[in-house]
Amino acid sequence: MSQRKVTFAHGEYYHVYNRGNSKQDIFRDNLDRRRFQNLLYVANGMNSFILRGVPKEKVFDFERGDCLVHIGAYCLMPNHFHILLTPAVERGVQTFMQKLATGYSMYFNKKYSRTGGLFEGRFKSQHADSDEYLKYLFSYIHLNPVKLIQPDWKEFGIRDLANVQKYLSDYKYSSLLDYVGMRDEGVIVESNRFPEYFRSHKEVSTELIEWLTYRTLLDHT
């Protein structure tokens, strides 16, 4: 068995991600996305769980025990997901990702009457080894949904900035809403465990707009 190249160290930050086997969709409807979000909370703890035994309206009251990781950002896309995290305990990242993948795969396979692996092997990871890269990851992860309404935006620039801003503000399946004050932070996301790059909700929005418009200006000069 090949060894993982990234060693997850306490106090360091990592971008972890995975996609569906053969690039298949892993989220087919909003119930799937909501289940994965619930698992981001429930699986992130020392306690074992059976999610179907936890009332939907009380998922975030579940006594999960001490956290395995601290999550700084996440985004769900049709056939893949992104998570920015830092380990809370030794082997916290590996344990959390195993619980997350196993719990979601069992749910998905049962719901859609399928068998076999859902994900494309083990999750992938990148070490955010500089402030510049870590700050960039917050924008990169939160801007992923733009590809759903304009797949070529990085090549040709944003055609309708107002429409993109509205789409991102309506997209419930990333942590952006936590950062712009449209959802209570602290259930899944723990921004206080990460460097304070943004001192206000407005600074977050400004940073994203700058990324979008910078890309647009590059492609029109």
On average, the pLDDT of the chain sits at 90
The Cα 109–Cα 111 span in angstroms is: 6
Q: Which domains occur in the chain, in start order?
A: 13-218 (3.30.70.1290)
Where b means 16+ CB within 10 Å and e means fewer, 179-195 reads: bbeeeeeeebbbbeebe
Q: What percent of the chain has pLDDT over 90?
A: 76
Place of tokens 């304009």: 150
Query: CB atoms < 10 A from the CB of 215, how many?
Result: 18
Under the banding of pLDDT at 50, 70 and 90, the label for residue 4 is: low
2 CB neighbour count, 10 Å cutoff: 5
Provide the whole-model pTM: 0.91
Distances (CA, A) of 25 to 73, 92, 102, 201: 21, 27, 17, 32
In eight-state DSSP terms, residue 43 is T
Specify the pLDDT at position 217. 39
Whose tokens are 């082997």? That residue is: 91
**CA pair distance 131, 133, nearest whole angstrom:** 6
| Of the candidates 130, 126, 106, 128, the residue with the CA atom closest to the CA atom of residue 117 | 106
- What is the mean pLDDT of the segment spanning 21-30? 96
**Residue 133 vs residue 154, higher pLDDT:** 133
Tokens of 75: 């985004």
Distance, CA of 4 to CA of 74 (rounded, Å) = 22
CA gap 109, 5 in Å, rounded: 30
Q: How far apart are CA 204 and CA 177, in angstroms?
A: 10
Q: What's the pLDDT at 59?
A: 79
Rg of the chain over all Cα atoms, to the nearest angstrom: 18
Q: What is the pLDDT of residue 183?
A: 76
Instruction: Please choose, from the candidates 25, 142, 5, 10, the residue with its C-alpha nearest in 3D space to the C-alpha of residue 84.
Output: 142
List pLDDT tens digits, range 126-145. 999 999 999 999 999 999 99
